[in-house]
Amino acid sequence: MSHQTGIKANDTLKSFFRSCRDGSIRAFKISIKEEQLVLSASVKDKKGTTWEKGFDKIIVPLVEENQPCYILYRFDTKTDTGYEWLFISWSPDTSPVREKMLYASTKATLKQEFGAAQIKEEIRASISSEITLDGYHRFKKAAFEPAPLTTREEELQEIKRSEVHTDYNVSSKQQTLGGVAFPITESAKQAILDMRRNGYNYLQFQIDIEEERINLVSAENISIEKLQSKMPVNSARYHLFTFKHTHEGDYKESIVFIYSMPGYNCSIKERMLYSSCKNPFCEIISDLGIHIEKKMEVDSDSELNEKSLYEEVHPVKNLHRPIFAKPKGPPGRGPKRMIKSQNN
């Protein structure tokens, strides 16, 4: 796993983050100078210009041929938390290896300080054609296209297809419904990858029922004492939390998947969707390299504390099985009869 560099945003950049969320800024560039994240340039929004029309004119002039940087470009869409942004990591092949490693290792810190929930998508570019609008659309298309199958994978797929479509009998296999597989947004995917690299210890996800996708709500580092405050009281959520603890003298970090459903405060449709999407979503998380140690379902934040998590991850094994007790016979049946055999 990669380690963070310890480089943080300076005060000027932090102040800029707070001021750019009102829609007046279309894009800005961030660089690393003197072991700090600094604001290098910003571009104000022109009224009446959509994000697509201004993409090439704004992004291309911001990058330098041999110098990595970060660029945040604002979309026109908004969520409950504010405008959505595109995060661009510019790391040209011609830049020094040390510079590329430095920017790669600091990316998670920048996203955390800006607010990972505001980042809708992320692209990584190393050549100029990748930071154009056409390059962005190519990236989007490639992200949703399945990877080409190997010969062996095609064979297994054909076997599976034939098993499902054969006539049903006592020896045939039947296809069952394993859940509803909603896609996840690029920001949710990147947050999971960042968590795998120790960028965050807590992620929260929400199902967008209208768009039928899973969005990232927050990505941050919190203490276990603050975990309870992350459970909404009127809506369901998925949570990923790295539970750091000791067990039998050894230090351990166990990733726990928590499905919080606050009873009947949610609609029937919401309860059904969250329940159906849970297993397919966990499979996506596993495919992205995160091993889920324990899955939990809670309906109250009081169930989330250090003791309960520990007991879930390390359940007590009952080594003393109760001895089987022979049940008593029916009452009033009288003494046992002695039957003697007679030999003629």
Cα 199 from Cα 192, distance rounded (Å): 9
Specify the higher pLDDT residue, 113 or 161.
113
pLDDT at 13 exceeding the cut of 80: yes
Specify the higher pLDDT residue, 265 or 219.
219
Domains of the chain, each with CATH number or no CATH: 8-142 (3.40.20.10), 186-313 (3.40.20.10)
Predicted pLDDT of residue 153: 56
Query: Could you report the per-residue pLDDT of 160-210, keeping only the tens digit for each?
Result: 544 443 343 433 333 334 567 889 999 999 999 999 988 899 999 999 988
Q: Phi first, then psi: give them for residue 227, nearest 5 degrees.
A: -65, -40
Beta partners for 240?
Answer: 203, 257
pLDDT at 226 exceeding the cut of 60: yes
Residue type, 170: V
In Å, what is the CA distance from 244 to each residue of 201, 230, 306, 337?
9, 18, 10, 66
Helix (H) or strand (E) holding 164: helix 151-165
Mean pLDDT of 264-279: 85
Out of 80-94, 281-295, 322-336, least confident range: 322-336
pTM score, whole prediction: 0.50
Predicted pLDDT of residue 234: 87
Mean pLDDT of 81-107: 88
State the average pLDDT for the chain.
Answer: 82
Helix (H) or strand (E) holding 62: helix 51-62
Question: Is residue 136 a contact partner of residue 55, using CB atoms and an 8 Å limit?
Answer: yes
Cα 231 from Cα 103, distance rounded (Å): 34
Token pair in block for residue 45 = 């929004």
Residue located via tokens 């379902």: 297
Question: Got the DSSP string for 204-266?
Answer: EEEEETTTTEEEEEEEE---GGGSGGGS-SSS-EEEEEEEEEEETTEEEEEEEEEEE--GGGS
Q: Phi first, then psi: give them for residue 184, nearest 5 degrees.
A: -105, 150
Cα 142 from Cα 139, distance rounded (Å): 5
Specify the higher pLDDT residue, 169 or 30.
30
Cα 257 from Cα 64, distance rounded (Å): 42
3-class SS of residue 79: strand
Cα 142 from Cα 127, distance rounded (Å): 17
Predicted pLDDT of residue 163: 45
- The beta strands (E) that lie in 64-212 are given as 69-79, 82-90, 119-125, 202-208
Neighbours of 193 (CB within 10 A): 15
Token pair in block for residue 126 = 């190393």
Share above pLDDT 90 across residues of the chain, in percent, rounded to a whole number? 42
Q: Specify burial of residue 64 (Cβ count, 10 A radius: 0-12, 13-18, 19+).
A: middle
Question: Got the DSSP string for 255-323?
Answer: EEEEEE--GGGS-HHHHHHHHHHHHHHHHHHHHTT----EEEEESSGGG-SHHHHHHHHSPPP---PPP
Which of 215, 213, 203 lies closest to 180, judged by CA?
A: 213
Specify the higher pLDDT residue, 3 or 96.
96
The band of 96, judged by pLDDT with boundaries at 50, 70 and 90, is confident
